[in-house]
Amino acid sequence: MYTPPFTISAEAINKIADISRLIERYAIRMEQEDALMLRKANKIKTIHSSLAIEGNTLDEEQVRDIVNGKTVVAPIRQIQEVKNAIATYEQFPHLDAFKESDLLRAHGIMMQALVDNAGQYRRGGVGVFSESGCVHIAPPADRVPYLMADLFEWLSGSSDHLLVRSCVFHYEFEFIHPFADGNGRMGRLWQSLILSRLHPVFEHLPVENMVYANQQQYYDAITASSNAADSGPFIDFMLGEIQKTLEAHKREPIKKVPNKIPNKVPNKLLQAFPEIQSITWSVYLQIAANGHLTTMKMAEILGISDRMVRKHINTLKAKGLITRIGSNKTGHWEVNKI
């Protein structure tokens, strides 16, 4: 089996130990009552930062508006980039970090309507350029399928720590530059996806926001690894970014969000359905207040995805708590009397 060249420094070993400790503290942080708002805020930061690194000029507020379905006046391509990123990150729970086919599928979503060959490896040569000129010539296009197959075989078969594997994959991915466009945002997405195998909190940890704040050091680390023919410098850099991100978020103050659900959902319902989660009751309350609300509008109000709203609605429907009146397009929901 092919093994990418990398060295694990003493610094990296110390960071892995510290990150492992911080992950559990962040996981506890994500169980607090404002976690839904924090996850949504982190999602917006992640999308904004990853695209900003690639030259998208929309600010965080504009990205938030697009996430919330609002109209934004901006270049069409940049809006499309944000919409594609939203759709791709919505697929996060359904993507397998170890499947090459899922990488191609995710690229197809991320680059839809932006490139002609979205979801396919490049068919021509590419290089990475800076103001001073070309800094990297990627391997020939005919080698890309073999290089990527080797990389995925190593990723799934290696016994190295997932923190290390995620960094090595990220660097090797950028070195191969398998796509005609979108390599940067896909490399960062895939590292987060690999890390989510280590712990689910990495789905909501905006490492990319930290990379954006240290963009030059990110590129310097890639260059240093290329010059050394060893991804060790990049491993050190990315582990440092993950460590700093976890440190920053463990100190975030908890926004006190009053729990109004027990005051609005009748006690008899809470007692009859103790298995129903608080967020599901929140969807129930939105329907009780206005059965004509769309799932997208409820998602905006509650700070969760449209897909999750539909999931909670299905739970309520299965429990006999709500009924759909009329068609899916023109009908509305009604709360059943229990």
Flag whether 71 is in a domain: yes
Flag whether 295 is in a domain: yes
Query: Distance between CA 162 and CA 165 in Å, rounded?
Result: 5
199 is catalytic: no
Q: 77 and 159 share a domain?
A: yes
Flag whether 197 is in a domain: yes
Q: 325 and 212 share a domain?
A: no
Angle at 177 between CA 174 and CA 183, to 5 degrees: 75
Q: Is 284 annotated as a binding residue?
A: no
Q: 234 and 297 share a domain?
A: no
Q: Is 129 annotated as a binding residue?
A: yes
Flag whether 256 is in a domain: no
In the prediction, which pLDDT does 259 show? 43
State the catalytic residue, choosing from 48, 170, 177, 204. Answer: 177
Q: 242 and 268 share a domain?
A: no
In the prediction, which pLDDT does 203 show? 86
Please give, one letter per residue, the 3-state secondary structure of the chain. Answer: CCCCCCCCCHHHHHHHHHHHHHHHHHHHHCCCCCHHHHHHHHHHHHHHHHHHHCCCCCCHHHHHHHHCCCCCCCCHHHHHHHHHHHHHHHCHHHCCCCCHHHHHHHHHHHCCCCCCCCCCCCCCCCEEEECCEEEEECCCHHHHHHHHHHHHHHHHHCCCCHHHHHHHHHHHHHHHCCCCCCHHHHHHHHHHHHHHHHCHHHHCCCHHHHHHHCHHHHHHHHHHHHHHCCCHHHHHHHHHHHHHHHHHHHCCCCCCCCCCHHHHCCHHHHHHCCCCCHHHHHHHHHHHHCCCCCHHHHHHHHCCCHHHHHHHHHHHHHCCCEEEECCCCCCEEEECCC
Q: 211 and 281 share a domain?
A: no
Q: Which of 231, 250, 269 is the last residue of a domain?
A: 250
Query: Distance between CA 252 and CA 30 in Å, rounded?
Result: 11
Q: 238 and 285 share a domain?
A: no
* Domain interval for residue 268: 261-335
Flag whether 50 is in a domain: yes
Q: Is 134 annotated as a binding residue?
A: yes
Q: Is 130 annotated as a binding residue?
A: yes
Q: 271 and 231 share a domain?
A: no
In the prediction, which pLDDT does 251 show? 56
Q: Which of 40, 50, 41, 44 is nearest to 213 (CA)?
A: 50
**Residue 258 corresponds to which tokens in the numbers above?**
């009053």
Q: What CATH code is carried by the domain that includes residue 307?
A: 1.10.10.10
Query: Distance between CA 305 and CA 86 in Å, rounded?
Result: 10
Per-residue burial over 278-314, b if 16 or more Cβ lie within 10 Å, else e, is ebbbbbbbbbbeebebebebbbbebbbbbebbeebbe
Domain count, the chain: 2
Q: Which of 250, 273, 296 is the last residue of a domain?
A: 250
Q: 179 and 292 share a domain?
A: no
Q: Is 185 annotated as a binding residue?
A: yes
Query: Distance between CA 55 and CA 220 in Å, rounded?
Result: 18
Q: Which of 225, 250, 275 is the last residue of a domain?
A: 250
Q: 285 and 152 share a domain?
A: no
Flag whether 3 is in a domain: no
Q: Is 218 annotated as a binding residue?
A: yes
Q: 241 and 271 share a domain?
A: no
Q: 26 and 175 share a domain?
A: yes
Q: 221 and 316 share a domain?
A: no
Give me the residues of the chain with pLDDT under 50, please: 253-263
- Please name the residue that has the structure tokens 């590292």: 191
In the prediction, which pLDDT does 329 show? 80
In the prediction, which pLDDT does 35 show? 61
| Beta partners for residue 130, in sequence order | 133
Flag whether 2 is in a domain: no
Q: What CATH code is carried by the domain that includes residue 29?
A: 1.10.3290.10
Q: Is 219 annotated as a binding residue?
A: yes
Q: Is 128 annotated as a binding residue?
A: yes
Flag whether 198 is in a domain: yes
Q: Is 227 annotated as a binding residue?
A: yes
In the prediction, which pLDDT does 99 show? 98
